[in-house]
Amino acid sequence: MYDLKLIKEVYDTMEQRIASARKKLKRPLSLAEKIIYSHLYEKNNITNHKRGEDYINFAPDRVAMQDATAQMALLQFMNAGKSKTAVPSTVHCDHLIQAYKEGKSDLSVALSKNKEVYDFLKSVTNKYGIGFWKPGAGIIHQILIENYAFPGGMMIGTDSHTVNAGGLGMMAIGVGGADAVDVMAGFPWELKSPKLMGIKLTGKLNGWTAPKDIILKVAGIVSAKGGTGYILEYFGEGAKSLSATGKGTICNMGAEVGATTSMFGYDESMDRFLRATDRAQVADLANSIKENLTGDPEFYDSAEKYFDKYIEIDLNTLEPSLNGPFTPDRCTPISEMVNEAPKNGWPVKIEYGLIGSCTNSSYEDITRASSVIKQAIDKNIEIKSNLTVTPGSERVKETLQRDGYLEPFEKAGAQIFANACGPCIGQWNRPGAEKKEKNTIVHSFNRNFAKRADGNPNTCAFVASPEMVTALVIAGNLTFNPLKDKLINRDGKEVMLDPPKGIELPVKGFLNNNPGFQAPSKEGSDIKIIVNPKSDRLQLLDPFAAWNGKNLKNLKLLIKAKGKCTTDHISMAGPWLQYRGHLDNISNNLLMGAVNAFNDKTNSVKNSITGEYGEVSKTQRIYKKEGISTIIVGDENYGEGSSREHAAMEPRFLGVKAVLAKSFARIHETNLKKQGMLALTFDKNSDYDKIMEDDTFNFTDLDKFAPEKPLHIELVHSNGSKDTIEVKHTYNNQQIEWFKAGSALNVIKKQK
């Protein structure tokens, strides 16, 4: 399945390219820099990039897409005029399977409900030479780490958690579909030269602490936006002591601090994982150039000097934590929960514990959690909360089953869902969620934004390691600290849970009877892609119109969003995932989760023509009909979270021209640029307060749009008074061309 030839080619030239970079920079290199300099689009153009400022053009080795984003990516690729993808690419069907009863029946419901979309993806992938992973095969990031990721490689994926592959030493970056189209069409992929954050791990995990606790701690230190523009590079003895999949968990959740990607240098854990997943040849190749697949020792020895930011974490003293609710960076060590929960009004009774997801469903994770649940049975302890398990891949699930590790979960009455995203992405048909009661759940996923798992805004979701989730489910109480608290069993005796015991890799090897992969045809030109014009799930795309070259005038305010406005707030997931291939239909969810700063309500904005309040998308459709352009105003870290470009395409499609925010999350900012929108930030954040509900916005110098030059907007308030504010942007010349042409895709089409 994996492409050995490709990996050989990368490794063959790596050493020499790294040597040239070292010479040019006159200093040792980090792992991130080694991968950067061996993946430049113009191979020999080695320059000393200014981190955080210069743009770099890359030639990634692979592209990966999941079904909820692949639809839009491939609809765009179909318009790019190519007959095959320029690099090996795959599509993974994981997001559209709803978790309700149990894996098998849920999967068969999904197969019939999503047939049209799966058939579309199957035929498009077949036509353009893209590998297709069937529904039920597993979650994209597990399939990638088990099959395609390789140390020192570079991959982009249309999902923010593509970064998971950093656990195997790969530079893997989440992007929007339009970026994937660039690479699949053979164009360079552009990224602002990332800054580097070094995280040294000392000591060794012990007892109840797990790799998850490392990233929960990092999220608490760095914050949800603190990683923006950074690559997080982990090193030190503690790093070497972690399994490859444990490293994957840490890299995975780097997305939650906004990091461009995270990675670990090649070590024996990766060698073991490659061999266990039938890739001994890759391990041998990697071993032959292993010092090129990790940072230079001199770099790590002077970490404080070379990294832009530097953190040290002592694993010996690390405590298990729970992060949440509503944001993944609110970190509470378990020993403090007993005070924090009552103080904050978090319900301590746990309704559900959910383990698995792309973040935490490795063999090691589930064996550790299994050892905890088994104790409840052996020690005759009543399990107080509901428990669900979503395995990450069929390969891991089959193997766990053979080795008897799923059995204790089944005995304990846990629901075992399909190998898919399920509850992690709102695809959870949770009984009673519609009552919107305040309640607490704990899970081992990565995100816990409001409504994310079950659509209930009053569900407080806490993120923890799978073994901690399992312990908390047994106790049924958020303040239970398994390190010191006792439980009373059915015999009335006091018992304690022993620390979890896991197995890194299956002793008898992985089973892989049912991979679920379909290779594409060698020759696809005869394959016709049919999209029913009456479909409500798929819609061919019309190109966006080019800019008319004039200053934008008389814009109305669609919404001034207050506080957190993630991509889940902008383009909700859950039931809306079914419209991911139909731009018109999905646009009906535009910004429905965002809080209007003027009335503190969601999905209620003033229509400046009628003065009435209505849903965001409906109001915007009226403006569109009336030919009135609009602007969205946002707070800090606007567009945090997912890579879904729908969050940028929907406003574009409905006639919004610009988003002006205090700051942006990286992927969303790029997505806006790619779709021909203006992504602007306040020069002075206090100007956010000047924006009034009835304002009219006039750009005064957009006709002189140029890199590094601020723009100016005149605000005309309803009482006739005016303010002119300065706004900043990060567009380079190429990106200004996208804006002028109407989208990046329009530029590709011209170049073809």
681 binds, options ligand MIC, ligand SF4, none, Cβ within 5 to 8 A by partner type: none
Q: Which is nearer to ligand SF4, 252 or 670 (CB)?
A: 252
139 binds, options ligand SF4, ligand MIC, none, Cβ within 5 to 8 A by partner type: ligand SF4
69 binds, options ligand SF4, ligand MIC, none, Cβ within 5 to 8 A by partner type: ligand MIC
Q: How far apart are CA 168 and CA 172, in angstroms?
A: 10
Nearest distance in Å: CB 643, ligand MIC: 3
357 binds, options ligand MIC, ligand SF4, none, Cβ within 5 to 8 A by partner type: ligand SF4
8 Å CB contact between 618 and 558: no
Whose CA is closest to 687, among 631, 630, 632, 635?
635
355 binds, options ligand SF4, ligand MIC, none, Cβ within 5 to 8 A by partner type: none
Catalytic residue (one of 159, 179, 213, 365): 159
- Reply yes or no on whether 695 is catalytic: no
262 binds, options ligand SF4, ligand MIC, none, Cβ within 5 to 8 A by partner type: none
Task: Please report where in the chains the tokens 């646009």 appear, as a residue.
Answer: 587
Q: Which is nearer to ligand MIC, 384 or 666 (CB)?
A: 666
Q: Could you tell me the CA-to-CA distances from 428 to 101, 389, 455, 478, 689 in Å, in that order?
A: 10, 12, 9, 22, 39
Q: Does 357 interact with ligand SF4 (rule: CB under 6 A)?
A: yes
Q: Residue 122: enclosing H or E segment and its boundaries?
A: helix 115-128
Please name the amino acid found at residue 386: N
Q: How far apart are CA 596 and CA 492, in angstroms?
A: 53
Q: Which is nearer to ligand MIC, 71 or 681 (CB)?
A: 71
Catalytic residue (one of 362, 642, 643, 743): 642
- Reply yes or no on whether 161 is catalytic: no
> E strands within 151-222?
154-158, 171-174, 189-192, 195-202
Q: Could you tell me the CA-to-CA distances from 525 to 84, 125, 320, 620, 648 in Å, in that order?
A: 9, 12, 54, 40, 31
| DSSP secondary structure string for all residues of 157-169 | EESGGGGGGGGGT
- Reply yes or no on whether 629 is catalytic: no
Q: Which is nearer to ligand MIC, 160 or 602 (CB)?
A: 160
Q: Which is nearer to ligand SF4, 294 or 362 (CB)?
A: 362
- Among positions 8-47, residues that touch ligand SF4 (CB under 6 A) are none
* Per rule CB under 6 A, count of chain residues that contact ligand SF4: 13
Q: Which is nearer to ligand MIC, 367 or 459 (CB)?
A: 459
Nearest distance in Å: CB 591, ligand MIC: 15
643 binds, options ligand SF4, ligand MIC, none, Cβ within 5 to 8 A by partner type: ligand MIC
Nearest distance in Å: CB 191, ligand SF4: 21
Name the site residues for ligand MIC (rule: CB under 6 A): 68-69, 95, 159-161, 174, 425, 447, 573, 641-644
Q: How far apart are CA 557 and CA 685, in angstroms?
A: 18
- Among positions 685-724, residues that touch ligand SF4 (CB under 6 A) are none
| DSSP secondary structure string for all residues of 461-508 | EEE--HHHHHHHHHHTBTT--TTT--EE-TTS-EE-PPPP---SS-TT
Whose CA is closest to 657, among 624, 681, 696, 631?
631
- Reply yes or no on whether 95 is catalytic: yes
Q: Which is nearer to ligand MIC, 538 or 552 (CB)?
A: 538
Catalytic residue (one of 430, 447, 652, 666): 447
- Among positions 388-447, residues that touch ligand SF4 (CB under 6 A) are 421, 424-425, 445-446
Burial label, 621 (beta-carbon count in 10 A; 0-12, 13-18, 19+): middle
Q: Which is nearer to ligand MIC, 245 or 567 (CB)?
A: 567
8 Å CB contact between 651 and 625: no
Nearest distance in Å: CB 442, ligand SF4: 16
Q: Which is nearer to ligand MIC, 569 or 729 (CB)?
A: 569
Q: How far apart are CA 294 and CA 636, in angstroms?
A: 35
Residue 342: phi and psi, rounded to 5, are -65, -35
68 binds, options ligand SF4, ligand MIC, none, Cβ within 5 to 8 A by partner type: ligand MIC
| DSSP secondary structure string for all residues of 282-303 | HHHHHHHTGGGGS--HHHHHTH
Catalytic residue (one of 61, 67, 94, 687): 94
Nearest distance in Å: CB 417, ligand SF4: 11
Q: Does 80 interact with ligand SF4 (rule: CB under 6 A)?
A: no
Catalytic residue (one of 49, 95, 430, 668): 95
Nearest distance in Å: CB 179, ligand MIC: 12
Helices (H), 654-720: 666-674
Nearest distance in Å: CB 49, ligand SF4: 30
Nearest distance in Å: CB 702, ligand MIC: 31
Task: Please report where in the chains the tokens 């891949």 appear, as a residue.
Answer: 393
Q: Tokens standing for 627?
A: 């030919």
- Reply yes or no on whether 447 is catalytic: yes
Catalytic residue (one of 644, 646, 652, 729): 644
- Reply yes or no on whether 402 is catalytic: no
Q: How far apart are CA 731 and CA 187, in angstroms?
A: 18
423 binds, options ligand SF4, ligand MIC, none, Cβ within 5 to 8 A by partner type: none
| 439 contact partners, CB below 8 Å, separation of at least 6 | 347, 349, 351, 456, 458, 459, 460
| DSSP secondary structure string for all residues of 703-719 | GG--TT--EEEEEE-TT
8 Å CB contact between 418 and 106: yes
Among left, alpha and beta (phi > 0; psi -120 to 50; other), residue 333 is: beta
Q: Is the dihedral of CA 643, 739, 659, 329 positive or negative?
A: positive
- Among positions 124-163, residues that touch ligand SF4 (CB under 6 A) are 139-141, 159, 161
Q: For the window 316-345, what string marks contact with ligand SF4 as x by the rule CB under 6 A?
A: ------------------------------
Interface with ligand SF4 (CB under 6 A), residue from 107, 354, 358, 679: 358
Q: For the window 82-121, what string marks contact with ligand SF4 as x by the rule CB under 6 A?
A: -------------x--------------------------
173: β partners? 156
Burial label, 544 (beta-carbon count in 10 A; 0-12, 13-18, 19+): middle
- Among positions 446-465, residues that touch ligand SF4 (CB under 6 A) are 446
Q: Which is nearer to ligand MIC, 385 or 642 (CB)?
A: 642
Q: Which is nearer to ligand SF4, 357 or 439 (CB)?
A: 357
Indicate the SS3 state at residue 542: coil
Nearest distance in Å: CB 305, ligand MIC: 34
Nearest distance in Å: CB 422, ligand MIC: 11
Enzyme catalytic residues:
94-95, 159, 447, 642, 644
For ligand SF4, the binding residues (CB under 6 A) are 95, 139-141, 159, 161, 357-358, 421, 424-425, 445-446
